[in-house]
Structure 1
Amino acid sequence: MATLDDLLSQIPVAQIAEQLDVDQQTAETAVRAALPTLVGGLDANAQDPAGAASLLSAVNNHSSRLVDGGVNVAEVDTADGDKIVSNVFGANKDQVISTLGGVNGGGGNDLVAKLLPILAPIVLSYIAKQLTGGGQGATTSTASTPTQGGLGDLLGGLLGSATSGSGGAGGALGDVLGSVLGGGAGGGLGGLLGGLLGGGKR
């Protein structure tokens, strides 16, 4: 089953830390905050038929090659990643970066702005692998063409796995998801992601 923990395990935190010139703990904290936010943004876009069609097209343009056999950050197309992030968050991009940059130990806005374009292509490659039967979490064992329904189910499952995680990385991701996305007193991304419909480019 595809879970946020499984997706997190695909992220080469040590390589990212080296590329962004930060210590590994800072990189890991930033990744743990940014990853569920990125998945949440994709899920918010997928709730709208036009957004789902756009996202599905993007997934179809990303093969599972990037995550097959382990991700090499040097192979990540960050220019493509920047386009993905802009499409997902639209006019809310800067606000998302600012909110994630405020996570304690997360390295600040500049780090998040560089991190999201690295993570985005990895996430789409992972989703492509799951939806085309390339992983244990594939929607069906014979799936070859991703569908909007399968995409929505997968994204919902990834987010659900974070909030229901029991201990370990799942629990930690759930805590981050709750604090960053839930955001009491309007300080989180929950309302922001919920308002993404129409915010991202279709």
Structure 2
Amino acid sequence: MTDLSGLMDHIPISDIARKLGVDESVARAAVDAAVPAIVGGLAANAKSGGEKSLESALSKHAGRSTKLADIDEEDGKKIVKNVFGTKTDDVVAAVSKKADTGGGIDFNAIVQQVLPIIAPIVLAYLANQFSGGKSTPAPKAEEQSGGDLGSLIGGLLGSQQGQDLVGGLLGGLLGGGRK
């Protein structure tokens, strides 16, 4: 079963911490809150008619590296904009609040930097899961034998961490898809 912990294992937390110049615990808190938000945003978009667009994005990210040095942050910014649309600032604020461990750290700024770093990693992970771990383009949902895209994302969101963040904190923001 695919869950958020499997995805989190692919996120280079210590590399992100070094890149941002923050303690690893700060980077982990931001990533732990941001990953379910991205997955939840993808799910909301797919439910509101964006499944074909998501399949296309997954096919472009299949087989991509999740190493920080290989991440295209400009692509990540486009992903974040496509996932959250005009609600991006609201999502950043909600994720920052969830991630905030205290200590006077500006989590808003950290989350703004983390989202475009991890968005391509999330898509690469989903693409590889959707295509059965092969580094070939993701098949269309009707060709896929291991379940559909909705089931894959639903499995990620089915974890307690995913339900807590998406259902409680971000549910109102993402419930109807991006606007």
Normalised TM-score (structure 2): 0.87
What does the per-residue CA deviation read over 1:12-45, in whole Å, with 9 as the maximum and x for residues that have no partner?
A: 1000000111000000011110011110000001
Matched, 1:27 2:27: yes
Q: Counterpart of 1:195 in 2: which secondary structure?
A: coil
Deviation at 1:181, TM superposition (A): 3.2
Of the candidates 145, 154, 158, which is equivalent to residue 139 of structure 2? 145
Where in structure 2 are the equivalents of 1:169-184 lying within 5 Å?
Answer: 173=161, 177-178=163-164, 180-183=165-168
Where in structure 2 are the equivalents of 1:41-120 lying within 5 Å?
Answer: 41-49=41-49, 51-66=50-65, 71-103=66-98, 104-105=100-101, 107-120=106-119
Q: Report the RMSD for the aligned CA atoms in angstroms.
A: 2.0
Higher relative contact order (CA 8 A, sep 6+): 2
Return structure 1 stretches of 4+ with deviation > 3 angstroms.
180-183
Match of 1:170 in 2: none
Structure 2 CA distance for partners of 1:192 and 1:144, relative to 1, 3 Å = closer
Measured in 1, the distance between the counterparts of 2:22 and 2:7 equals 22
Measured in 2, the distance between the counterparts of 1:128 and 1:181 equals 21
Letter in 1 for 2:17: A
Are the equivalent residues in 2 in contact too, given 1:30–1:112 (CA < 8 A)?
yes
Of the candidates 161, 175, 178, which is equivalent to residue 194 of structure 1? 175
Match of 1:169 in 2: none
Measured in 2, the distance between the counterparts of 1:126 and 1:19 equals 21
What does the per-residue CA deviation read over 1:104-151, in whole Å, with 9 as the maximum and x for residues that have no partner?
A: 22751111011000111001101111111117xxxxxxx961317711
Measured in 2, the distance between the counterparts of 1:73 and 1:47 equals 30
Structure 2 CA distance for partners of 1:181 and 1:65, relative to 1, 3 Å = closer
Are the equivalent residues in 2 in contact too, given 1:27–1:107 (CA < 8 A)?
no
What does the per-residue CA deviation read over 1:37-95, in whole Å, with 9 as the maximum and x for residues that have no partner?
A: 1100000011123x1111111111112231xxxx3201100000000000000010011
Are the equivalent residues in 1 in contact too, given 2:12–2:68 (CA < 8 A)?
yes
Measured in 1, the distance between the counterparts of 2:61 and 2:106 equals 29
Measured in 1, the distance between the counterparts of 2:167 and 2:126 equals 24
Could you tell me which runs of 5 or more consecutive residues in structure 1 were left unpaired when the two chains were aligned: 136-142, 164-172
Are the equivalent residues in 1 in contact too, given 2:12–2:67 (CA < 8 A)?
yes
| Percent identical | 46
How many residue pairs get aligned? The number is 169
Measured in 1, the distance between the counterparts of 2:61 and 2:148 equals 16
Normalised TM-score (structure 1): 0.77
